[in-house]
A and B are shown apart, each in its own frame.
Chain A
Amino acid sequence: MAGLGKEYRAGEVIFRQGDTGNCMFVIQDGEVEAVAELEGREFRLRTMGPNEFFGEMALFEKEVRTATIRTTKPTRILSIDKKNFLGGIHEDPSLAFRIVQTMSHRIRDLTDRLARYEQQR
């Protein structure tokens, strides 16, 4: 009974690429994978574990989800409302610091991957 968030079984989809969304998610326990779907094929982008977050782009943009998120094992996930998050940022902009930091890491990771891809082409 203890523990926060919502429980998902292994293999459940949290959201699909192309869905609209208005919240982000923080993993409390377990693991999820981010999967991009292109021309009927799936490409695993990354896996994420406890305390990592996903779906943060929906907080800043009105665009659809860019990847599908699926659990790889029994997982508990806490959702963060857009309203609560943006209200918090309005009062305390430093609340966004960790998200900016993580997005920065992800951009660095994507840049590395792109460079390797260009090298191999």
Chain B
Amino acid sequence: MAEGLELLTGKAPKPNKAEAMTLGDGSRVAVIGAGPAGSMFSYFFLSMAETIGLDVGVDVFEPRRFCHRGPAGCNHCGGIVSESLVQRLATEGIKLPDCVVQRGIESYILHTDVGDVEIATPLMEKRIAAIYRGNGPRSSEPLDTHSFDGYLLELAEQKGARVIPRLVTGVRRDEGLMTVSCADQFSDAYDLVVVATGVNSRLTEMLENETAEFSRADRTKTFICEFFLGREVIRETFGPSMHVFLLDIPRLEFAALIPKGDYVTLALLGDDIDEALIDRFFAAPEVRNCFPGGQVPGHVCHCYPRINIRSATPAYGDRLVLIGDSGTTRLFKDGIGAAYRTSKAAAKTAVFHGVSAEDFSNYYAPLCRKISNDNRVGKFVFSVATLVQKARFARRGILNMTANEQLQEDSPRRMSGVLWDLFSGSASYTDVFLRTLHPAYVGLLLWNLVSANLPGGRKAQKGNGHVRH
């Protein structure tokens, strides 16, 4: 057997592997969880099966209803669809409707204690989508909004997936198939079980307890909250920009204010975010100055969701695969993009190769390894960002270099590109890192470090709306 999850007390009998571990007409697949990973798996799996004339059934187990506002319909996430994912979904023919896109983001504003700079997309085009995973914050009014997760689930249903509104409490191997059991005594057998529950679910904990070789994803606590400001105030104060912060606050890796409709979402990522860190963040003048009157308003909805910071191992077994956050995801950024990539890779494996641990090892695991290896580079990149957070002279140099680039339309935007891809998650960490090794990048950074820190040194010009010292 290939290395894999020999799941749940007992080996899978393999009397006739070629037949038993390949899906055929009438095969049934259970998808547990209808977040982006579960819904996209269902959508792509059924699309691919249709292209080769394979008649299979997909049951999606999801007890939540994404039409609900607040925690009942929410999947607890900052709610950004990256530039690269927006483009890939468009290429796949998946257009995000206006009712799903709460705001198109066309620039980032980087806030530091030595000034702010706006990093605009080169084409002045909205290619990043701010979305709600549920149907808006707690106590929000019913608007013409639509949940991103709900929209993807609708696409899966249109392809033929059946939604079962039940909470899955157990998965076990039974006579060669997988049996899924629910809290209300419902149980059924499937040829493949796809776990797409994310990391904030008890199911992966149950898998870990019952299976010696399985280790669920490592997690850390984050903080997300929503501020009600009203559409007009948001347009005037935040505009179509995501506001990110490079502040010298211990344990804080990334902070962003994301404008959406009548609300602004705050996402804090770092090492076990707690109230002390949150209070310190809210007290920072760079944060307060983003809000009208320099006062951070009370939030209407908040949560401390956990995020995956190290992949589950192994993320597959015979007739079982873990996708999205419950398996492998990107560190801190573009979790929805990782859900797309892992769900599609798992669907391709199941449709075109098979559902044995060996199949997943050969055709699914390489992508998981690629993402995990990139996350290692990401850890290094974020550790450098932490050093920059602590070094005022470095922040001055970076801000100066970015500001100068934004003022010159035709010159290569090396620092702006690095920061853009780091904030938006649009490129791999490896790609971002390699770009920082380019001699021109290094030379310009050194020049800006010197020029921005010398008394009377050359500073970026002010007053064009891009740079605010």
- A residues engaging B (CB < 8 A)? 1-6, 26, 28-29, 50-51, 53, 78-81, 84-85, 88, 91-92, 94-95, 97-99
CB distance from B188 to the nearest CB of A (A): 30
Residue B36 at the chain A interface, CB threshold 8 Å: no
Q: Is the CB of B92 within 8 A of A98?
A: yes
CB distance from A56 to the nearest CB of B (A): 9
Say whether, besides A51-B93, A51-B95, A92-B341, A1 and B104 are in contact (CB < 8 Å).
yes
Q: Contact partner of B123 among A4, A6, A88, CB < 8 A? A: A6
Measured as residues with beta carbon below 8 angstroms from the partner, the interface class of chain B is 35 or more
Query: Judging by beta carbons under 8 Å apart, are A4 and B86 in contact?
Result: yes
Which residue in chain A gives the minimum CB-CB distance to B90? A26
Contacts of A84 in B (CB 8 A): 83-84, 87-88, 426
Residues in chain B near residue A91, CB distance under 8 A: 341, 367, 370
Chain B: residues with CB nearer than 8 A to chain A?
48, 51, 83-84, 86-88, 90-93, 95-96, 98-99, 101-104, 123-127, 129, 231, 235, 240, 261, 341, 344-345, 348, 367, 370, 426
24 A–B contacts, CB within 8 A, in A order: A1-B103, A2-B99, A4-B126, A4-B127, A6-B123, A78-B86, A78-B87, A78-B90, A78-B125, A79-B127, A80-B87, A80-B90, A80-B91, A84-B83, A84-B88, A88-B87, A88-B91, A92-B344, A92-B345, A92-B348, A95-B88, A95-B91, A95-B92, A98-B93
When distances are taken between beta carbons in the complex, the residues of chain A under 8 Å from B91 are 26, 53, 80, 85, 88, 95, 98-99
Contact A94–B88 (Cβ < 8 Å): no
Since A4-B129, A6-B124, A88-B91 are in contact, a sample of 19 more A-B pairs with Cβ atoms closer than 8 Å, ordered by chain A residue number, is A1-B104, A2-B104, A3-B101, A3-B104, A5-B126, A6-B126, A26-B91, A53-B91, A78-B125, A78-B127, A79-B123, A81-B87, A91-B341, A92-B341, A92-B345, A94-B344, A95-B88, A95-B91, A98-B93
Question: Contacts A26-B95, A85-B91, A92-B341 hold; do A6 and B101 have CB atoms under 8 A apart?
Answer: no
Min CB distance, B363 to chain A, in Å? 12
Contact A6 B95 (CB under 8 A): no
Alpha-carbon gap, A26 to B102, bound state (A): 20
A92 to B367 alpha-carbon distance, docked (Å)? 10
Nearest residue (CB) in B for A99 is B91
A17 CB → nearest B CB, Å: 21
Q: How far is the CA of A94 from the CA of B129 in the complex (A)?
A: 24
Closest to B95 in A: A51
Q: Which of B93, B123, B126 contacts A3 (CB 8 A)?
A: B126
| CA A88 to CA B92, docked complex, whole Å | 11
Whether the Cβ atoms of B104 and A5 lie closer than 8 Å is yes
Bound-state Cα–Cα, A85 to B91, Å:
8
Q: How far is the CA of A6 from the CA of B86 in the complex (A)?
A: 14
Would you give the shortest CB distance from A74 to chain B, in whole angstroms?
A: 14
A78 — which chain B residues lie within 8 A by C-beta?
A: 86-87, 90, 125, 127
Quick one: closest B residue to A51, CB to CB?
Answer: B95
Shortest beta-carbon distance from A22 to chain B in Å: 12
* A4 contacts B92, C-beta separation under 8 Å: no
Smallest CB separation, A53 vs chain B (Å): 8
Are A85 and B341 in touch, CB under 8 angstroms?
no
Residues of B within 8 A of A26 (CB): 90-91, 95
Q: Are B84 and A2 in contact (CB under 8 A)?
A: no
Which residues of chain A come closer than 8 Å to B51, judged between CB atoms? Answer: 97
Specify the chain A residue showing the minimal Cβ separation from B104.
A4
Closest to B93 in A: A98
